[in-house]
Amino acid sequence: MVQAANPTRLTVQKKQIAEGTTAMRSLDWERDRFDIEFGLQNGTTYNSFLIRGERTALVDTSHEKFRALYLEMLTGEIDPLAIDYLVISHTEPDHSGLVGDVLALAPQATVIGSRMALQFLENMVHRPFASRAVKSGDTLDLGGGHVLEFVSAPNLHWPDTMFTFDRATGVLYTCDAFGMHYCDRRLFDDDLEAIEPDYRFYYECLMAPNARSVITALKRMEPLGEITTIATGHGPLIRHHLTELVERYRRWSSEQETATASAAIFYVSDYGYSDRLSRSIATGIAKAHAASELVDLRATDLAEVKEVIARSQAVVLGTPPTAGPAAEAAQAALGVILANLTAKQTFGVYEAGGSADEPVTPLHNRLLDLGLAAAFAPVRVQEAPTPATYKLCEEAGTDLAQILTRARTIQQMKSLDVNLDRAMGRLSGGLYVITAAKDGVRSAMLASWVSQASFAPLGFTVAVARDRAIEALLGIGDRLVLNILEEDRYTPLMRHFLKRFAPGEDRFAGIDILEGTGGVPILQDALAYLEGRVTSRLDAGDHWIVYVTVDNGQVSRPEGRTAVHHRKVGNHY
């Protein structure tokens, strides 16, 4: 059943998914894609579940924007006074935003959660409530065979997270883990092809920085017994492709674990904007083939902080709070971090944008004084971050990772067979500048690996290295311009766009541009340009092959010829 409040934005849906088990989903069709992991623009859902044995448990709630819709759906399904337990998988407000409202209607309910979740909840729900802290292996018998077993799954995605397994139905409730931001009326993973880009993207943004914790959680899932359904907190529930999708988490996390270079990102979750800023930096690090580890100082003991530093080649610090509930733990951890860093490590710092940030410049300078090399200038967050701020963080993460992986990259270039390398070098291309714009962020890249790919529709491909800043602006549906450079006149533009730009730096300063469709810059000094839209992307190892269908174009000098790029070796551009 789908109840439409505003049919284009927020709807709710409830359906039985197993014996005694009802899914209640809040469908957010246009969730603000400002949040980094919402990059594929398919909205999201917040999933809540009711399990009825002889006693009843509600697993998670919804986002507060669904207050009226969710409470109407819940009270239409059950008398709140009949809810015995409220299981909290994780306290981020997208799942727990209505806990206070539910407890107002169901004051008799006992809240079940990890010790940390209950602690966080006390700061969120300003009313007394009965509670029981649980850990891995603890059970709760609802009667009728519905024995709930709890699995600690810290860092997926906050340190408070736990899974719940119902032995009667084989349903495993995982909250963020195995989720995706994909809003669709289909309850389950019917269409693997449709959901897999979002499944991967979500993994990369939320889970990859905690690959070690993913592997631990996967191990803890093994003895549970047959899992029939993974009831995630976001997107479709996983049933039809369960083995395959779980296996992907295992594979991706193992790959992440074996990356040779790793950066630790120390932050305080739920403080300022540190959660999303940290994830943007982690995304940038992953683009340059290095691993990252997100370490929440609210919840990590000092011995572990020391261990993380010892195994990391770089550290990123979000300014910790100097006041408030997490200040004491964060400041103690900061002391341990500063005492254990060595001059061989690389670092970056960013402002968390909270109410009581440690000043960022003195922190940056202290790390320089310790002899560490700065990978990027301190990232400052004066007001609420914009897409440009998150993009800047991503680029800063990529710069940092490129420093860590430089030696490996040079080694790989040298290891190519000499004859093969020379033969590859005889492939030639033109000289182009790709420009793109999205959410007020503009970028550009010099390109040579461009080729017409089709007549109908008219289209071309361009190869884009994964660690290019512009890559994030070239998702399916995004617009771009291919600026074609001219023989004998290309040097100024080539020199400009070959420059190394600092994170967030304006690529178009001093360049004459016009605004094309969607605000994408067109270079006035180019020989010709083509405007188009990305319609597909092919994974080609360290590059994406981006296929673009063209809808507009113009030549400024009809007598001009395209600049050609000849190379001698195939191991670089």
Q: Which residues bind ligand FEO (CB under 6 A)?
A: 90, 92, 94-95, 157, 176, 233-234
- Asked if 146 and 166 touch (Cβ cutoff 8 Å), the reply is yes
Which CB atom, from 95 or from 565, has the smaller least distance to ligand FEO? 95
Which CB atom, from 326 or from 513, has the smaller least distance to ligand FEO? 326
Stated as kind and residue range, the H or E segment containing 362 is helix 360-369
Shortest Cβ 120–ligand FEO spacing (Å): 12
- Asked if 110 and 130 touch (Cβ cutoff 8 Å), the reply is yes
Q: Strand 314-318 relative to strand 262-267: parallel, antiparallel, unpaired?
A: parallel
Start-to-end C-alpha separation, the chain: 55
Shortest Cβ 234–ligand FEO spacing (Å): 6
Shortest Cβ 278–ligand FEO spacing (Å): 13
Which CB atom, from 233 or from 320, has the smaller least distance to ligand FEO? 233
Shortest Cβ 483–ligand FEO spacing (Å): 40
- Asked if 349 and 316 touch (Cβ cutoff 8 Å), the reply is yes
Residue closest to ligand FEO (Cβ): 92
Which CB atom, from 102 or from 493, has the smaller least distance to ligand FEO? 102
Which CB atom, from 97 or from 348, has the smaller least distance to ligand FEO? 97
- Asked if 412 and 551 touch (Cβ cutoff 8 Å), the reply is no
Shortest Cβ 108–ligand FEO spacing (Å): 27
Which CB atom, from 44 or from 262, has the smaller least distance to ligand FEO? 44
Q: Which of 294, 116, 330, 88 is nearest to 209 (CA)?
A: 294
Give the pair of three-digit tokens for residue 20.
């005694």
Strands, sheet with 10-18, edge to edge from the N-terminal-most edge strand: 2-6, 10-18, 21-28, 44-52, 56-59, 85-87, 110-113, 130-133
Q: Which of 356, 166, 391 is nearest to 281 (CA)?
A: 391
Which CB atom, from 95 or from 239, has the smaller least distance to ligand FEO? 95
Q: Strand 459-465 relative to strand 450-454: parallel, antiparallel, unpaired?
A: antiparallel
Shortest Cβ 494–ligand FEO spacing (Å): 44
- Which one-letter amino acid corresponds to residue 513? I
Shortest Cβ 520–ligand FEO spacing (Å): 33
DSSP three-state, residue 332: helix
Which CB atom, from 153 or from 462, has the smaller least distance to ligand FEO? 153
Q: Which of 272, 328, 97, 295 is nearest to 211 (CA)?
A: 295
CA distance 430 to 484: 8
Shortest Cβ 410–ligand FEO spacing (Å): 38
Shortest Cβ 90–ligand FEO spacing (Å): 6
Which CB atom, from 60 or from 84, has the smaller least distance to ligand FEO? 60
Which CB atom, from 234 or from 442, has the smaller least distance to ligand FEO? 234
Shortest Cβ 91–ligand FEO spacing (Å): 9
Stated as kind and residue range, the H or E segment containing 46 is strand 44-52
- Which one-letter amino acid corresponds to residue 122? E
CA distance 367 to 387: 28
How many C-beta neighbours within 10 Å does residue 572 have? 9
